[in-house]
Amino acid sequence: MKKKYVPKSEIENRIIRLQKILPQENIEAALIIYKVDYFYFSGTSQNSVLFVPAEEKPLLMVIRDMARAIEESPLAQVVPLESVLGIPELIKEFYGIIPQRIGMELDVLPVRDYFRFQKMFPKTEIVDTAKIIKRLRMIKSPYEITQMKRAGEIGKMVYEEGCSILREGMSEIEFGGWLELAAKKHEHEGLIRVRSLNYEAYTWHVLSGPSGSIVSQADSPMGGAGLSPAFPVGAGTRKIQAHEPILVDFGICYNGYIVDQTRIYSIGELPEKFMKAYAASRKIESLILKETLPGKNTREIYEKTLRFAAELGYKDNYLGIPGKKSSFVAHGIGLEINEIPFMAAGQNFSLEENTAIAIEPKMVFPGEGAVGIENTILITSQGVEKLTACSEKILQV
Amino acid sequence: MKKKYVPKSEIENRIIRLQKILPQENIEAALIIYKVDYFYFSGTSQNSVLFVPAEEKPLLMVIRDMARAIEESPLAQVVPLESVLGIPELIKEFYGIIPQRIGMELDVLPVRDYFRFQKMFPKTEIVDTAKIIKRLRMIKSPYEITQMKRAGEIGKMVYEEGCSILREGMSEIEFGGWLELAAKKHEHEGLIRVRSLNYEAYTWHVLSGPSGSIVSQADSPMGGAGLSPAFPVGAGTRKIQAHEPILVDFGICYNGYIVDQTRIYSIGELPEKFMKAYAASRKIESLILKETLPGKNTREIYEKTLRFAAELGYKDNYLGIPGKKSSFVAHGIGLEINEIPFMAAGQNFSLEENTAIAIEPKMVFPGEGAVGIENTILITSQGVEKLTACSEKILQV
């Protein structure tokens, strides 16, 4: 296998950026326990805990597998750890002291583990570093953008292959399975990571006709039927028919990095109503892309799209049907699908350069279906660059 | 779609069992916030919080989607909830008082949310109900067993279809993608749930030849290469060859319920070394199945298998290679893949009737490959019943 290791310079820069912020927040060290975060700062997702002091070299403590962690991580200090209980001793051994104020990711750390850490560090205050880490991860490096562009290219191939797979009478879940197979052949990793206790992302988000107006647990314009109340999101068993919109919202993950995109398939021609609504979605996307510049406020862009959708005649369709609308039109994306910033109600982010976001203006018609477009884009000083390169026409077969 | 709703009697029995235990533990009410748990007790996994007092009717508070929650859940009290902040008020409205001691799942609840709940319930002690809930979920009802048997039947079809898909030169991940597609056609839900912050289960666990001796982050005899350091488990890009063991550990999830199983494929004949090791794995499985009776101690069974494997000449192969062995041979299974009990080092569970476990004695040869068998079984008063019905011969194509 071609080794997809994270470059040394990349890890060094990430550690430097974290170490710069820690003293500003009066935190002596970060103790990083969440896999996606320690993968980001170490280059390995082997079972580990990463200690990053504000000034000295970080220490990666590895439970399993040590050999792979050493091979994958460019960090200089990688040591074995038999159990988390051994952490304080290793810190003392490497740094001479136990910090009085350490940061952990309290947005994901389970309470039971927190109590255990409190016992292990009885004289240490444990504060939250989730916000700091999320802010650092929001800004993408050229290396990260390269991974996301590759994910975008895989997405392009998958949507194109979908045109030769889709046929009338195929179930949504079967079409989703075929797309997933096509993606895996190109090294799509299959899972889409989410920073949340209860929210799961399904790659096989194939919603045909009326399925497009079924909402579910997530704050999204449409959820789909899913396969059962246990998994009530995404493709269901409905047979896909001709002349109805087939909305395919398909996340691709390459080397850890995700892009999210949505395109519309149809078998035969789509009724004019949906064609027009799709064109309106694209107009709203154009408005967003024009507004998406460093310094702009995300809530204001979101609100502008609401007004524009109403002007276009889609007040009752845009981002869902009344009473069941989603409250956002774009989300940050990278190693996880729900990164900051959000273009959403009440979310006042100021956009920054080198942030990646997925923008998804969509229209829902109750009982009939949904259409819309989604692209993952990079914010640059000049405007936006699309990371999802697939044709934006209706994919009619 | 055929509605796969959880029957009313099922939910009633689960609530009764929980309400019986709560007073024994001196807990006035359980506030269930983890999706898999509130699905178990309510029948819906729409975004909700479930309040179960020790004596009165439970209250399902639904954030989204209310209409689906009402349709899916047989509970009598299902009410809308705008934000988690509204929970105390709803409890007061329905029950007149706020309990002084409530239980939450502290093994999964993030610290930040815990702090929020502490503020919302300033005079209430929050204790851990994870153990209670896990113990209740360990015992499977006839309805649950029916779902798991269906998952087992899907698994059988998938492994059989695999025989006509597998060919030399196909990559592990491609074969995994084909198996996943075959499973989805039969309504496999695609995700395998795990109760853990960092551990993720991959369905496409296809390890060919030397990949079978690559370990990874999990406590498992083999992990596989995976596709990158970000996803370092399961199928990689290695091309499958003839005359090597192709270990396929494939979890199937139907209507929320999982079965786990492992079979070995080969293209052409397998060298005798692997045939013998596979036969030894099956002998160890037979020993375990004979020992798996209500009242038996799980650690003792695990230790007995270590001795038996050594007797058979596989001390350095059984459950992994020396220094990298896994510490368990069986795990509980149901809505999640890491349920109790475990047959493992230091784990003293006393086996109970109607518990489902996945038993997986496996052999690893460094640099060469891995073989082994895994079945999901139900413990009955008479012994065990296999829920995974697939042929146990080497699947030679």
Q: What is the ipTM of this complex?
A: 0.97
Look at B217 and A335 and tell me if their CB atoms are within 8 Å. Answer: no
Q: Which residue of A has its CA nearest to B117?
A: A111
Q: What is the mean pLDDT of residues B176-196?
A: 97
Q: What is the mean pLDDT of residues A230-238?
A: 97
Residue A39 touches partner B, C-beta closer than 8 Å: yes
Sign of CA dihedral A198, A201, A207, A212: positive
Which residues in chain A touch residue B42, judged by CB atoms under 8 angstroms apart? none
pLDDT at residue A2, rounded to an integer: 55
pLDDT at A1 > cutoff 50: no
pLDDT tens for each residue of A67-98 = 999 999 999 999 999 999 999 999 999 999 99
Residue B169 touches partner A, C-beta closer than 8 Å: no
Q: Which of these, B8, B301, B287, B258, lies nearest to B149 by C-alpha position? A: B258
pLDDT at residue A221, rounded to an integer: 96
Q: How far apart are CA B215 and CA A177, in angstroms?
A: 28
pLDDT tens for each residue of B222-279 = 999 999 999 999 999 999 999 999 999 999 999 999 999 999 999 999 999 999 999 9
Q: How far is B227 from chain A (nearest CA, A)?
A: 7
Q: Which residue of A has its CA nearest to B40?
A: A230
Report yes or no: B46 and A232 within 8 Å, Cβ to Cβ. yes
Q: DSSP code of B174?
A: H
Q: Is B179 helix (H, G, I), strand (E, B) or coil?
A: helix
Which residues in chain A touch residue B41, judged by CB atoms under 8 angstroms apart? none
Q: What is the mean pLDDT of residues B88-108?
A: 98
Query: Which of A219, A231, A233 best probes binding to B when mutated, by most B CB atoms within 10 angstroms?
Result: A231
Please, what are the domains in chain B? 8-136 (3.40.350.10), 139-396 (3.90.230.10)
Q: How far apart are CA B377 and CA A233, in angstroms?
A: 29
Report yes or no: A304 and A291 within 8 Å, Cβ to Cβ. yes
Percent of chain B, pLDDT > 90? 98
pLDDT at residue A51, rounded to an integer: 98
Number of C-beta neighbours around residue B23 at 10 A: 11
Report yes or no: A15 and A58 within 8 Å, Cβ to Cβ. yes
Q: Which of these, A196, A190, A215, lies nearest to A339 by C-alpha position? A: A196
Which among B72, B183, B238 has CB closest to A229? B72
Which residues in chain B touch residue A5, judged by CB atoms under 8 angstroms apart? 229
Identify the band that residue A356 occupies on the pLDDT scale cut at 50, 70 and 90: very high
Q: How far apart are CA A179 and CA A175, in angstroms?
A: 6
Q: Which residue of A has its CA nearest to B47?
A: A217
Residue B97 touches partner A, C-beta closer than 8 Å: no
E strand or H helix that includes residue B283: helix B272-291
Q: What is the mean pLDDT of residues B321-328?
A: 96
pLDDT tens for each residue of B333-364 = 999 999 999 999 999 999 999 999 999 999 99
Look at A198 and B47 and tell me if their CB atoms are within 8 Å. Answer: yes
Q: What is the mean pLDDT of residues B97-124?
A: 98
Residue B328 touches partner A, C-beta closer than 8 Å: no
Identify the band that residue B123 occupies on the pLDDT scale cut at 50, 70 and 90: very high
Measured CA distances, B285 to A62, A283, B362, B364 (Å) = 32, 62, 9, 16
Listed by number, the residues of chain B in 177-216 with a beta carbon closer than 8 Å to a beta carbon of chain A are 177-178, 180-181, 183-185, 187, 189-191, 197-198, 200, 202-204, 215-216
pLDDT tens for each residue of A312-331 = 999 999 999 999 999 999 99
Look at B190 and A255 and tell me if their CB atoms are within 8 Å. Answer: no
pLDDT at residue B2, rounded to an integer: 55
Query: Which of A196, A228, A239 best probes binding to B when mutated, by most B CB atoms within 10 angstroms?
Result: A228
Residue A228 touches partner B, C-beta closer than 8 Å: yes
Q: Which residue of B has its CA nearest to A193?
A: B200
pLDDT at residue B1, rounded to an integer: 44
pLDDT at residue B202, rounded to an integer: 87
Which residues in chain A touch residue B81, judged by CB atoms under 8 angstroms apart? none
pLDDT at residue A45, rounded to an integer: 98
pLDDT tens for each residue of A287-299 = 999 999 999 999 9
Query: Which of A111, A131, A336 best probes binding to B when mutated, by most B CB atoms within 10 angstroms?
Result: A111
Beta-carbon contacts below 8 Å between A and B? 230
Q: How far is B293 from chain A (nearest CA, A)?
A: 30
Q: Which of these, A186, A145, A191, A146, lies nearest to A162 by C-alpha position? A: A186
Look at A189 and B230 and tell me if their CB atoms are within 8 Å. Answer: yes
HEC assignment per residue over chain A? CCCCCCCHHHHHHHHHHHHHHHHHCCCCEEEECCHHHHHHHHCCCCEEEEEEECCCCCEEEEEECHHHHHHHCCCCCEEECCCHHHHHHHHHHHHCCCCCEEEECCCCCEHHHHHHHHHHCCCCEEEECHHHHHHHHHECCHHHHHHHHHHHHHHHHHHHHHHHHCCCCCEHHHHHHHHHHHHHHCCCCCCCCCCCCCCCCCCCEEEEHHHHHCCCCCCCCCCCCCCECCECCCCCCCECCCCCCEEEEEEEEECCEEEEEEEEEECCCCCHHHHHHHHHHHHHHHHHHHHCCCCCEHHHHHHHHHHHHHHCCCCCCECCCCCCCCCEEEEECCCCCCEEEEEECCCCCECCCCEEEEECCEEEECCCEEEECEEEEEEECCEEEECCCCCCCCEEC
Which among A33, A72, A231 has CB closest to B229? A72
Please list the alpha-helical segments (H only) found in B48-166: 66-72, 87-95, 111-120, 130-138, 142-165
Q: Which residue of A has its CA nearest to B49?
A: A198
Look at A204 and B184 and tell me if their CB atoms are within 8 Å. Answer: yes
Q: How far apart are CA B312 and CA B306, in angstroms?
A: 10
Q: How far is A244 from chain B (nearest CA, A)?
A: 18
Bridge-based pairing of strands A356-359 and B47-53 is unpaired
Collect all residues with Cβ–Cβ distance below 8 Å to B163 and sequence separation of at least 6: B265, B395, B397
Percent of chain A, pLDDT > 70? 99
E strand or H helix that includes residue B10: helix B8-24
pLDDT at residue A37, rounded to an integer: 98
Look at B237 and A191 and tell me if their CB atoms are within 8 Å. Answer: no
